Amino acid sequence: MAAGCCGTKKQKLNNSTSITCNGTSLIPNGVRNGMVAHPEMCFFCFDVLYCHLHSLDPPKTPNFCNDPYPLFVTWKIGKDRRLRGCIGTFNAMNLHCGLREYAVTSAFKDSRFSPITRDEFSKLHVSVSILRHFEDGSDYLDWEVGVHGIRIEFHNEKGSKRTATYLPEVAPEQGSWDQIQTIDSLLRKGGYKGSVTPDIRRTIKLTRYQSEKISVIKMLPTSLHTVPITKSGNESDQHCSFWNTMYQTTSLWLSLHFMVLVQYKGPP
Protein backbone atom coordinates (compact mmCIF):
# COMPACT_ATOMS: atom_id res chain seq x y z
CA MET A 1 0.00 0.00 0.00
CA ALA A 2 1.17 3.48 -0.84
CA ALA A 3 0.91 6.76 1.03
CA GLY A 4 1.59 10.34 0.04
CA CYS A 5 3.80 12.49 2.24
CA CYS A 6 0.52 14.12 3.18
CA GLY A 7 -1.24 10.83 2.51
CA THR A 8 -4.42 9.32 3.86
CA LYS A 9 -4.31 5.72 2.75
CA LYS A 10 -4.26 2.97 5.34
CA GLN A 11 -0.81 1.53 5.94
CA LYS A 12 0.73 -1.54 7.47
CA LEU A 13 3.59 -0.18 9.55
CA ASN A 14 6.86 -2.03 9.77
CA ASN A 15 8.52 -0.99 13.02
CA SER A 16 11.87 -2.66 12.53
CA THR A 17 14.78 -0.35 13.33
CA SER A 18 17.62 -2.87 13.25
CA ILE A 19 18.12 -3.23 9.47
CA THR A 20 21.52 -2.03 8.27
CA CYS A 21 23.44 -2.02 5.03
CA ASN A 22 26.81 -3.69 4.91
CA GLY A 23 30.00 -1.82 4.14
CA THR A 24 31.64 1.48 5.01
CA SER A 25 32.07 3.15 1.62
CA LEU A 26 31.98 6.94 1.46
CA ILE A 27 29.38 9.03 -0.32
CA PRO A 28 30.38 12.46 -1.69
CA ASN A 29 29.78 14.41 1.51
CA GLY A 30 32.04 12.05 3.45
CA VAL A 31 29.33 10.36 5.52
CA ARG A 32 29.92 6.65 5.96
CA ASN A 33 27.04 4.56 4.85
CA GLY A 34 25.87 3.47 8.21
CA MET A 35 23.68 6.02 6.47
CA VAL A 36 21.61 4.08 3.96
CA ALA A 37 20.53 6.85 1.58
CA HIS A 38 22.97 7.35 -1.30
CA PRO A 39 22.98 9.77 -4.28
CA GLU A 40 22.91 6.85 -6.72
CA MET A 41 19.38 6.10 -5.52
CA CYS A 42 18.27 9.45 -6.92
CA PHE A 43 19.99 8.83 -10.24
CA PHE A 44 18.30 5.44 -10.41
CA CYS A 45 14.90 7.11 -9.94
CA PHE A 46 15.69 9.43 -12.85
CA ASP A 47 16.60 6.38 -14.94
CA VAL A 48 13.39 4.58 -14.05
CA LEU A 49 11.22 7.58 -14.84
CA TYR A 50 12.98 8.30 -18.14
CA CYS A 51 12.55 4.72 -19.31
CA HIS A 52 8.90 4.74 -18.31
CA LEU A 53 8.19 8.02 -20.07
CA HIS A 54 9.81 6.75 -23.27
CA SER A 55 8.41 3.18 -23.12
CA LEU A 56 11.90 1.69 -22.86
CA ASP A 57 13.17 -1.36 -21.06
CA PRO A 58 13.71 -0.65 -17.36
CA PRO A 59 17.23 0.23 -16.20
CA LYS A 60 19.64 -2.43 -15.06
CA THR A 61 19.98 -3.46 -11.44
CA PRO A 62 21.75 -0.68 -9.51
CA ASN A 63 24.80 -1.09 -7.30
CA PHE A 64 23.53 0.43 -4.06
CA CYS A 65 22.31 -1.46 -1.00
CA ASN A 66 19.25 -3.67 -1.51
CA ASP A 67 18.18 -4.18 2.09
CA PRO A 68 14.51 -3.60 3.00
CA TYR A 69 13.35 -0.24 4.32
CA PRO A 70 10.22 1.91 4.27
CA LEU A 71 10.81 4.66 1.71
CA PHE A 72 9.38 7.69 -0.07
CA VAL A 73 10.20 9.23 -3.45
CA THR A 74 9.52 12.94 -3.97
CA TRP A 75 9.52 14.76 -7.30
CA LYS A 76 9.79 18.55 -7.49
CA ILE A 77 10.04 20.81 -10.52
CA GLY A 78 11.58 24.10 -11.56
CA LYS A 79 13.66 26.73 -9.84
CA ASP A 80 11.11 27.09 -7.07
CA ARG A 81 11.11 23.30 -6.54
CA ARG A 82 7.36 23.01 -6.67
CA LEU A 83 6.04 19.64 -5.49
CA ARG A 84 5.01 17.32 -8.35
CA GLY A 85 4.52 14.07 -6.50
CA CYS A 86 5.38 12.35 -3.23
CA ILE A 87 4.36 8.79 -2.48
CA GLY A 88 5.99 6.01 -0.48
CA THR A 89 5.36 3.03 1.71
CA PHE A 90 5.68 2.12 5.37
CA ASN A 91 6.17 -1.50 4.42
CA ALA A 92 9.86 -2.37 4.32
CA MET A 93 10.73 -3.04 0.67
CA ASN A 94 14.01 -4.09 -0.87
CA LEU A 95 15.42 -0.81 -2.12
CA HIS A 96 15.99 -1.84 -5.74
CA CYS A 97 12.36 -2.92 -6.16
CA GLY A 98 10.94 -0.22 -3.89
CA LEU A 99 12.63 2.70 -5.63
CA ARG A 100 11.80 1.27 -9.03
CA GLU A 101 8.12 1.10 -8.05
CA TYR A 102 7.78 4.39 -6.21
CA ALA A 103 9.79 6.47 -8.67
CA VAL A 104 6.93 5.75 -11.08
CA THR A 105 4.07 5.73 -8.56
CA SER A 106 4.99 9.15 -7.16
CA ALA A 107 5.37 10.58 -10.67
CA PHE A 108 2.06 9.34 -12.04
CA LYS A 109 -0.31 8.38 -9.25
CA ASP A 110 -0.24 11.19 -6.72
CA SER A 111 -3.91 12.20 -6.77
CA ARG A 112 -3.05 15.82 -6.00
CA PHE A 113 -1.30 16.30 -9.35
CA SER A 114 -1.53 15.40 -13.00
CA PRO A 115 0.99 12.76 -14.18
CA ILE A 116 4.50 14.00 -14.95
CA THR A 117 5.15 14.40 -18.69
CA ARG A 118 8.15 14.01 -20.97
CA ASP A 119 8.37 17.78 -21.37
CA GLU A 120 8.83 18.19 -17.63
CA PHE A 121 11.66 15.68 -17.24
CA SER A 122 14.50 18.14 -17.79
CA LYS A 123 13.15 20.40 -15.02
CA LEU A 124 12.71 17.75 -12.34
CA HIS A 125 14.48 17.23 -9.04
CA VAL A 126 14.17 14.06 -6.97
CA SER A 127 14.54 13.14 -3.31
CA VAL A 128 14.68 9.73 -1.70
CA SER A 129 13.75 9.36 1.96
CA ILE A 130 14.66 6.20 3.86
CA LEU A 131 12.55 5.87 7.00
CA ARG A 132 14.06 4.48 10.20
CA HIS A 133 13.82 4.49 13.99
CA PHE A 134 10.07 3.99 14.38
CA GLU A 135 8.74 4.56 17.89
CA ASP A 136 5.25 4.68 19.39
CA GLY A 137 4.51 8.12 20.82
CA SER A 138 3.08 8.33 24.33
CA ASP A 139 0.61 10.93 23.04
CA TYR A 140 0.05 13.24 20.08
CA LEU A 141 2.75 15.66 21.32
CA ASP A 142 5.49 13.07 21.82
CA TRP A 143 7.61 14.14 18.86
CA GLU A 144 9.84 17.03 17.80
CA VAL A 145 9.24 19.36 14.85
CA GLY A 146 12.10 19.15 12.36
CA VAL A 147 13.39 15.87 13.79
CA HIS A 148 10.55 13.39 13.49
CA GLY A 149 8.14 12.40 10.83
CA ILE A 150 4.77 11.41 12.23
CA ARG A 151 2.12 8.91 11.29
CA ILE A 152 -1.25 9.20 13.00
CA GLU A 153 -4.18 6.83 13.31
CA PHE A 154 -7.58 8.24 14.20
CA HIS A 155 -11.30 7.79 13.65
CA ASN A 156 -13.14 10.32 11.55
CA GLU A 157 -16.49 11.83 12.47
CA LYS A 158 -18.24 8.76 10.98
CA GLY A 159 -16.17 6.38 13.08
CA SER A 160 -13.99 5.09 10.23
CA LYS A 161 -10.33 4.47 10.96
CA ARG A 162 -7.97 6.70 8.98
CA THR A 163 -4.22 7.27 8.82
CA ALA A 164 -2.02 10.07 7.55
CA THR A 165 1.66 10.95 7.61
CA TYR A 166 4.01 13.88 7.28
CA LEU A 167 7.71 13.37 6.56
CA PRO A 168 10.11 15.19 8.95
CA GLU A 169 10.66 18.13 6.60
CA VAL A 170 7.00 18.97 6.02
CA ALA A 171 6.31 21.00 9.18
CA PRO A 172 9.52 23.10 8.99
CA GLU A 173 8.83 23.87 5.33
CA GLN A 174 5.58 25.56 6.35
CA GLY A 175 7.53 28.21 8.23
CA SER A 176 6.23 28.41 11.75
CA TRP A 177 4.06 25.35 12.29
CA ASP A 178 4.13 24.05 15.85
CA GLN A 179 3.04 20.58 16.97
CA ILE A 180 -0.64 21.47 17.30
CA GLN A 181 -0.82 23.10 13.88
CA THR A 182 0.94 20.12 12.32
CA ILE A 183 -1.39 17.60 13.99
CA ASP A 184 -4.47 19.59 13.00
CA SER A 185 -3.30 19.89 9.41
CA LEU A 186 -2.56 16.17 9.29
CA LEU A 187 -6.04 15.36 10.58
CA ARG A 188 -7.49 17.45 7.75
CA LYS A 189 -5.24 15.78 5.21
CA GLY A 190 -6.43 12.46 6.59
CA GLY A 191 -10.01 13.42 5.85
CA TYR A 192 -11.25 14.57 9.25
CA LYS A 193 -13.97 17.16 8.62
CA GLY A 194 -15.33 17.72 12.12
CA SER A 195 -14.25 20.21 14.74
CA VAL A 196 -10.71 19.50 15.98
CA THR A 197 -10.80 19.69 19.76
CA PRO A 198 -8.31 18.69 22.48
CA ASP A 199 -10.41 15.58 23.08
CA ILE A 200 -10.11 14.59 19.40
CA ARG A 201 -6.35 15.11 19.49
CA ARG A 202 -6.05 12.91 22.59
CA THR A 203 -7.63 9.99 20.73
CA ILE A 204 -4.83 9.98 18.15
CA LYS A 205 -2.38 7.09 18.08
CA LEU A 206 0.95 8.56 16.96
CA THR A 207 4.05 6.85 15.63
CA ARG A 208 7.17 8.95 15.20
CA TYR A 209 10.04 8.11 12.90
CA GLN A 210 13.17 9.64 11.48
CA SER A 211 14.53 9.72 7.96
CA GLU A 212 17.60 9.94 5.83
CA LYS A 213 16.82 12.15 2.88
CA ILE A 214 19.03 12.66 -0.13
CA SER A 215 18.17 14.95 -3.04
CA VAL A 216 19.63 15.43 -6.50
CA ILE A 217 18.80 18.77 -8.04
CA LYS A 218 19.59 19.18 -11.73
CA MET A 219 21.60 22.27 -12.57
CA LEU A 220 22.17 21.70 -16.29
CA PRO A 221 20.56 23.85 -18.99
CA THR A 222 17.57 22.11 -20.59
CA SER A 223 19.32 21.81 -23.96
CA LEU A 224 22.08 19.65 -22.50
CA HIS A 225 19.58 17.21 -21.02
CA THR A 226 18.18 16.46 -24.45
CA VAL A 227 21.45 15.80 -26.31
CA PRO A 228 21.20 12.32 -27.91
CA ILE A 229 23.57 9.65 -26.60
CA THR A 230 25.56 8.20 -29.47
CA LYS A 231 27.11 5.05 -28.00
CA SER A 232 26.04 1.72 -29.49
CA GLY A 233 23.22 -0.38 -28.09
CA ASN A 234 19.52 0.16 -27.58
CA GLU A 235 18.20 3.48 -26.36
CA SER A 236 17.47 2.19 -22.87
CA ASP A 237 21.02 0.94 -22.36
CA GLN A 238 22.43 4.18 -23.74
CA HIS A 239 20.47 6.34 -21.33
CA CYS A 240 21.09 4.23 -18.26
CA SER A 241 24.77 3.84 -19.03
CA PHE A 242 24.96 7.61 -19.44
CA TRP A 243 23.65 8.30 -15.94
CA ASN A 244 25.63 5.54 -14.26
CA THR A 245 28.90 6.34 -15.99
CA MET A 246 28.64 10.04 -15.28
CA TYR A 247 27.86 9.42 -11.64
CA GLN A 248 30.41 6.69 -11.00
CA THR A 249 33.41 7.96 -12.91
CA THR A 250 33.18 11.72 -13.34
CA SER A 251 33.05 13.57 -10.05
CA LEU A 252 33.43 16.87 -11.92
CA TRP A 253 30.09 16.23 -13.61
CA LEU A 254 28.47 15.63 -10.25
CA SER A 255 29.91 18.73 -8.64
CA LEU A 256 29.24 21.06 -11.57
CA HIS A 257 25.88 19.93 -12.80
CA PHE A 258 24.04 18.55 -9.81
CA MET A 259 23.50 19.66 -6.28
CA VAL A 260 23.44 16.67 -3.93
CA LEU A 261 21.75 17.41 -0.62
CA VAL A 262 22.12 14.99 2.27
CA GLN A 263 19.79 15.31 5.23
CA TYR A 264 19.86 12.89 8.13
CA LYS A 265 17.08 13.18 10.67
CA GLY A 266 18.08 10.70 13.31
CA PRO A 267 20.44 9.94 16.18
CA PRO A 268 24.10 10.89 15.50
Domain identity same for 120 and 23: yes
In a domain, 254, yes or no: yes
The Cα–Cα gap between 156 and 53 comes to: 38
Residues 223 and 91 in one domain: yes
Domain closes at, from 210, 228, 243: 210
Mapped onto helix, strand or coil, the DSSP state of residue 90 is strand
Predicted local confidence at residue 252, as pLDDT: 32
How many domains does the chain fold into? 2
**In a shared domain, residues 51 and 160:** no
Same domain, 139 and 233: no
52 lies in the same domain as 127: yes
Structural domain includes residue 6:
no
In this structure, the answer to whether residues 150 and 242 fall within a common structural domain is no
How many angstroms separate the most distant Cα atoms in the chain?
A: 65
* C-alpha of 154 from chain center: 24
Which pLDDT does position 41 carry in this prediction? 94
Write the CATH number for 107. Answer: 3.30.700.20
Cα–Cα distances in angstroms (integers) from residue 226 to residues 59, 76, 171, 244, in the given order: 18, 19, 36, 17
Let me know: does 25 contact 15? Beta carbons within 8 Å. Answer: no
**153: nearest Cα among 163, 143, 144:** 163
Q: Residue 175's pLDDT is what?
A: 85
pLDDT of residue 199: 96
106 and 145 housed in the same domain: no
Q: What does the DSSP 8-state code read for residue 122?
A: G
- Which pLDDT does position 191 carry in this prediction? 94
Query: Would you say residue 244 lies in a domain?
Result: yes
Is there a single domain that holds both residue 98 and residue 203? no
**Do 178 and 102 share a domain, yes or no?**
no
**Are residues 108 and 235 both part of a single domain?**
yes
Cα–Cα distance between 141 and 143 in angstroms, integer? 6
Task: State the residue range of the domain holding 149.
Answer: 134-210
Q: Residue 7, exposed/middle/buried by CB under 10 A (0-12, 13-18, 19+)?
A: buried
Cβ atoms of 40 and 247 within 8 Å: the answer is: yes
Residue 9 is assigned to a structural domain of this protein: no
Whether 215 and 126 have beta carbons less than 8 Å apart is answered as yes
- Both 89 and 103 in one domain: the answer is yes
Rounded distance between C-alpha atoms, residue 233 and residue 114, angstroms: 33
Q: Is residue 47 located within the same domain as residue 91?
A: yes
8 Å CB contact between 195 and 160: no
Residue where a domain terminates, one of 180, 210, 240: 210
pLDDT of residue 86: 95
Q: Determine, yes or no, domain membership for 1.
A: no
Element (H, E) at 164: strand 161-166
> Last residue of some domain: 169, 195, 210?
210
Each residue's pLDDT expressed in tens, for the chain with a length of 268 residues: 566 664 333 333 333 332 233 332 333 333 344 789 999 999 999 999 999 999 999 999 999 999 999 999 999 999 899 999 999 999 999 999 999 999 999 999 999 999 999 999 989 999 999 999 999 999 999 999 999 999 999 999 889 999 999 999 999 989 889 999 999 999 999 999 999 999 999 999 999 999 999 998 765 444 333 333 222 233 334 344 334 434 433 333 333 345 555 555 455 4
The amino acid that residue 246 corresponds to is M
Q: Measured between alpha carbons, how far is 13 from 110 in angstroms, rounded to an integer?
A: 20
Q: Decide: helix, strand or coil at residue 179.
A: helix
pLDDT of residue 30: 33
Give the model's pLDDT for residue 209.
Answer: 97
